[in-house]
Amino acid sequence: MVTSRKSLVAASLIAALGFAAPSAAATFDGAWNVQITSSNVACSSGASVSIGISNGQVASNSATVTASGRVAEAGNIHVTLASGMKRAVGSGVLAGASGSGTWRAALCSGTWTAQRS
């Protein structure tokens, strides 16, 4: 009786794992347009960057800006953008088809918003 219960539990777990949903971070996969604003008037503001997310990994869709980072299952995102010698790091949250957060660089900082393309 105990052996058959263990077998039934094991079979149930295997079946459940076989039908498990893909990683929640994958729900953010796709192309995103990011609007960047600065809180410092001396820094440029209004830039737009296109990024891509695949299996929770962030990459750039532009030859001029390199993007790297990760999206967690809950939608928390951490990203680094680089263009030449300039570098900025940002964090925030994605939810559905949009997101927002903050960024900082050596002399500037600000906010960002994102929309899925």
- Domain ranges (residues) in the chain: 24-116
Sole residue written with tokens 């906010």: 111
Name the strand (E) or helix (H) holding 17.
helix 2-18
Per CATH, which fold does 24-116 belong to? Answer: Lipocalin (2.40.128)
Amino acid residing at 87? R
- Residue 43 in contact with residue 37, Cβ under 8 Å? no
What is the pTM (predicted TM-score) of this model? Answer: 0.76
Dump pLDDT digits (tens) for 62-77.
888 899 999 999 999 9
- Residue 90 in contact with residue 79, Cβ under 8 Å? yes
Q: In whole angstroms, give the CA distance from residue 104 to residue 115.
A: 20
- Residue 4 in contact with residue 34, Cβ under 8 Å? no
The pLDDT, as a whole number, for residue 25 is 59
Q: Would you give the DSSP letter of residue 28?
A: G
Q: How confident is the model at residue 55 (pLDDT cuts 50, 70, 90)?
A: very high
The pLDDT, as a whole number, for residue 12 is 37
